[in-house]
């Protein structure tokens, strides 16, 4: 299998344990570019990608690897155990989502199952989204999406493009959500969202 992770100690430890305890032949690299280079040189039964390593750019790295090696099962590994992240990985074609907190025996079993084409996503280990706090609970789904865009520093035009709506529609949502939050401006609205736990800093 191909193991791509930028944390040297973690990568080397996992590779050693998979080899010693699971009889798995592991090629390990530290970034996405090296993983893509390795795919040009040899074939693998499974590719395991660290979600946060250099070059990944969210799920774009997963999609690039799948385009390069469409016949090889690809899984995402992360120290972040958010259920939405696992669901996004599976939606983008991953055969599994592996929390880094997984024990070595469970990881060996997961690797062998995914290499055989099975789906692995231990939802019981994953965290759901945090509950919204007032006054965010009064916002509609679309207003929350607009607010997320504001928190990301996007303009109304950029948010409109992302949500595939008219810019004037975004402006109306901004006006409404600001009134609901008691926000003086966009910056204040973003601050309220972060303080209420909706957006991670």
Output Rg (C-alpha) for the chain, integer angstroms: 20
pLDDT for 56 equals 92
The contacts of residue 118 (CB under 8 Å, 6+ apart) are 95
Statement: the pTM of the whole predicted model exceeds 0.75: no
Element (H, E) at 85: helix 83-91
Query: Could you tell me the two tokens for 39?
Result: 């795919």
> Strand 96-99 vs strand 2-4: parallel, antiparallel, or unpaired?
unpaired
Mode of pairing for the β-strands spanning 47-50 and 27-29 = unpaired
Per-residue pLDDT of the chain (201 residues; tens, 9 = 90+): 999 999 999 999 999 999 998 899 999 999 999 999 999 888 999 999 999 898 898 899 999 999 999 999 999 999 887 888 888 999 999 999 999 888 888 989 999 999 998 999 887 777 765 555 556 778 888 998 999 999 888 999 999 999 999 999 999 999 999 999 888 898 899 888 877 776 544
Which residue shows structure tokens 């595939």?
164
């Amino acid at each position: 299998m191909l193991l791509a992770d930028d944390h040297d100690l973690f990568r080397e430890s996992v590779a050693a344990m998979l080899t010693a305890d699971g009889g798995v032949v592991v090629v390990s690299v530290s970034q996405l570019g090296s993983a893509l280079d390795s795919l040009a040189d040899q074939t693998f039964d499974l590719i395991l990608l660290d979600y946060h390593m250099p070059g990944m750019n969210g799920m774009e790295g997963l999609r690039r690897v799948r385009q390069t090696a469409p016949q090889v099962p690809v899984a995402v590994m992360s120290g972040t155990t958010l259920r939405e992240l696992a669901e996004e990985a599976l939606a983008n074609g991953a055969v599994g989502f592996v929390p880094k907190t997984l024990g070595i025996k469970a990881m060996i079993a997961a690797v062998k199952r995914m290499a055989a084409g099975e789906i692995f996503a231990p939802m019981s280990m994953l965290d759901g989204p945090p509950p919204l706090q007032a006054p965010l609970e009064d916002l509609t789904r679309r207003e929350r999406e607009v607010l997320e865009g504001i928190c990301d520093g996007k303009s109304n035009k950029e948010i409109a493009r992302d949500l595939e709506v008219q810019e004037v529609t975004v402006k109306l949502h901004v006006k409404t959500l600001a009134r609901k939050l008691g926000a003086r401006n966009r910056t204040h609205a973003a601050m309220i969202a972060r303080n209420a736990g909706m957006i991670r800093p």
